[in-house]
Structure 1
């Protein structure tokens, strides 16, 4: 069976046009958190979250190859995907900065495996780090959900470079 498909000879767009087109897709905003072997916590803001499968329960997210936190997330067995609620832009900003400890004065709870669950989130998913797939300039993480919870409320969105909400 031939599994190769023909490709266009060249792209009909540049990287700026590609980013502009991608920005038209509104995404939810998440903070991925984990605990290291030394007991410290790490986290990052990501909008590349999606469901994969109901049986088994799988979700995915991606992280850039150049990210300082890539070794942390490829090396840990578990993490929590925290889906931010409307009004939690400060948390998104806090976990997108490199120079500060985002957990500093933040009250949070721990999952069954000791991973940080952020306060007030719309939902969270505790995941086993099932598999990783390098693609382009990112690594796609597939997590098998072991625990989850939803607190129905408006979600924080990111669209055309700005935050918004579903309400």
Structure 2
């Protein structure tokens, strides 16, 4: 296995381990919600002016799939749609008070997982962080370009907020 494969496999392995470790606690704390729904709630909670297009771009899903998911979340009373006074064409989403509760539970779980993994990150130097972030940004730009070649426009994405 060459170094590129080692890095790729290493990232995949890390992400799979994180997902496995986090899965049971997430499922237990957020019963009744699919992972995609929770991430949609998270996105709407973090981004004022969320709409179908922005959600679709962020999750690499079709607008139709996002519309279906947001309709389910509206029906569950988690999000609500609204229009801006100056733009009656576009529909935006915001969290309801029930949605805020789910959002906060999810955020607390992330903090808990961060705390669990703190021991590793405390050992990483600023230079190592800079190097890792530089690599991730470079690789992300490369993948963005590859996605664009497939005919998907992702120019409005902000990966490192």
Q: Is TM (by shorter chain) over 0.5? A: no
Structure 1 length-normalised TM:
0.27
| Greater per-residue strand proportion | 1
| Greater per-residue helix proportion | 2
Greater relative contact order (Cα < 8 A, sep 6+): 1
Larger Rg: 2
